[in-house]
Structure 1
């Protein structure tokens, strides 16, 4: 069975993935804090900045889903530098040395948050496909957390170009369990359901690609981002739509 290392397994994205895919792969779950509950596979308590521990966890792995890092949009520079940039480089380096097939990197909408200007309001995104971000645009972070995610994408590009490591960067939108936020349009436009999140990651594990940047949102009527690339390259077919919950 395909063996997958999931870093940051104790977070919300990890919860969404394991909710749907627990029985589909051989899992190794890594988190800096002890994991509890009925979990698949083996667990590893380690920090991703610990090179020795990461290399040990990488042994025998086919795919890495890299979620670990400081998830706070307001996180200070010393934290995002250590956890999100240095830690991500440690993961990529260990993946190459271990002969991993592909890395799925959890990027974020914050890597492009500064595109949300007065010239690119939701009505333009909603009505005109050409205004939607599609992954071909340059990063434009709106905070230091977004800077760290843009740096992670660039590290992924380097490790593909230099070593041939297949990398899929997923710019995750607004992941919630259950229904989407119903009180503001931005949250609905960026919504990613648990079911679609797991499906997208499953596609990224299975698909054949080189280096890709795709957006992780459900098939919402309102969209800031295009999911065309995820459909084309990964075979992503989301089932949910925030409009169904209005």
Structure 2
């Protein structure tokens, strides 16, 4: 059971969701390249994830890592995703192995499979009785270079699991919003992830016993493009929110 957790990219939206629910659950060490502008739980380390020495020092003594840091822009150019999302993620995995950390939860993205939405049957995937749902066993089909970087982070996790027995959970995060899903955006409703379900899912990623997993990060929405059955079965994910409850 994780007692101390390193959270990279702590100042971002996903970090806010996690800390908002789990601030008192662990001893936190937070890492971000920008200095904090508000109070955070635990120790705050200002460093870039491409700085191998700084990351190794931040990793020391941790039980688990939640890796969120990177360029989150969907239109990010290769000149940014290569160092920030790919090289930086490799540094995180390498430091985890070097410091004896057993578990890494990696924030992947639905953009790693974005081009599945070009399939002809995509418009039908929001029906409640539809059996066509991505479940993490499909090959990546990135929709942009950001998605390429997230798919690469998943492959790096596979390598570090197979080579070093690191437990890695890759969470393909959907549409994370704080208060409610986008009411007038059907695709966004199907992909919605609430803040509390996000925090719960990442908590299960650092608490459960598994080897290597790719799971989808969405709430228990009536409409689903992605399956959450693997997250339920392996991680014990028990989402509480449903975008249908907010429909007008």
Partner of 1:121: 122
Tell whether the 8 Å contact from 1:125 to 1:131 is kept in structure 2 after alignment.
Answer: no
Partner of 2:8: 7
Q: C-alpha displacement at 1:124, in angstroms?
A: 3.1
Kept in 2: contact 1:122–1:186 (CA 8 A) = no
1:28 is aligned to: 29
Give how far 1:38 is off. 2.4
Which residue pairs with 1:96 in the alignment?
97
TM-score (structure 1 length as normaliser): 0.98
**TM-score normalised according to structure 2 size:** 0.97
Distance in 1, Cα, partners of 2:119 & 2:99: 46
Preserved contact between residue 128 and residue 224 of structure 2 (Cα < 8 Å): no
CA distance in 2, matches of 1:14, 1:57: 17
2:147 counterpart residue number:
146
2:222 corresponding residue in structure 1 = 221
Alpha-carbon distance in 2 for matches of 1:229, 1:245: 25
Aligned mates of 2:204, 2:127 — CA distance in 1: 26
Structure 1 position 234, deviation (Å): 0.4
Give the count of matched residue pairs. 246
Q: Give the Cα separation in 2 of the matches to 1:181 and 1:74.
A: 21
1:125 Cα deviation (Å)?
4.5
Q: CA RMSD in A?
A: 1.0
Instruction: Please give the residue correspondences for 1:70-85 in structure 2 after superposition, counting only pairs within 5 Å.
Output: 70-85=71-86
Q: Which runs of 4+ in 1 moved over 6 A?
A: none
Following superposition, the deviation at residue 39 of structure 1 comes to 1.1
Structure 2: distance between partners of 1:69 and 1:18:
18
Q: Which moved more, 1:125-134 or 1:94-103?
A: 125-134
SS in 2 for 1:29: strand
Structure 2 gaps, min length 5: none
